[in-house]
């Protein structure tokens, strides 16, 4: 799964397609960019402090998600993809500087890698893919 490649392949009209009752494809991508940015920030903070990520302490992310979508609403699809690539690169660099194995050894740090059956990236990737294929 290469989410960025999927986004780069979208036609201009695809970005405004509704994925659910409230979000378009662009909104989902904005949401993902917001989370990528947050993961980078939280990884740095948590590695230094040993605390748990704030999002492990909550079950409701609506406010955070709304802020991300709002923050990126005026970004063009190209600029949004570029922003996401920037944060993905920052995350990869942070993981490399700490060491992936070091991160995996700490409790409550699996979220850094977004792996497995319930992958956040995988969930939204499939949503967008389905909407694009259906329309």
pLDDT for 134: 86
Q: Does the pLDDT at position 25 exceed 90?
A: yes
Radius of gyration, alpha carbons of the chain = 15
Q: Specify the pLDDT at position 116.
A: 77
pLDDT tens digits along 49-99: 989 899 988 888 899 999 999 999 999 999 999 999 999 999 999 999 999
Closest CA to 28 of 10, 55, 54: 10
> CA 78, CA 60: separation in Å to the nearest integer?
30
Share the mean pLDDT of the chain: 93
User: What's the topology of domain 3-134?
Assistant: 1.20.120
The predicted structure's pLDDT at residue 118: 80
pLDDT at 101: 95
Looking at residue 85, what is its pLDDT?
A: 97
With 70 as the cut, is the pLDDT of residue 1 above it? no
Domain locations in the chain as residue ranges = 3-134
């Amino acid at each position: 799964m290469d989410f960025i490649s999927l986004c780069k392949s979208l036609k201009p009209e695809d970005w405004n397609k509704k994925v659910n009752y409230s979000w378009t494809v662009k909104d989902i991508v904005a949401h993902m960019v917001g989370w990528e940015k947050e993961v980078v920030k939280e990884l740095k903070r948590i590695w230094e402090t040993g605390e748990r990520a704030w999002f492990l302490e909550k079950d409701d992310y609506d406010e955070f998600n709304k802020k991300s979508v709002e923050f990126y609403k005026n970004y063009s699809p190209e600029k949004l993809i570029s922003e996401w690539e920037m944060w993905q690169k920052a995350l990869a660099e942070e993981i490399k500087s700490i060491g992936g194995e070091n991160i995996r050894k700490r409790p409550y740090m699996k979220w850094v890698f977004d792996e497995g059956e319930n992958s956040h990236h995988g969930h939204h990737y499939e949503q967008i893919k389905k909407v694009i294929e259906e329309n």
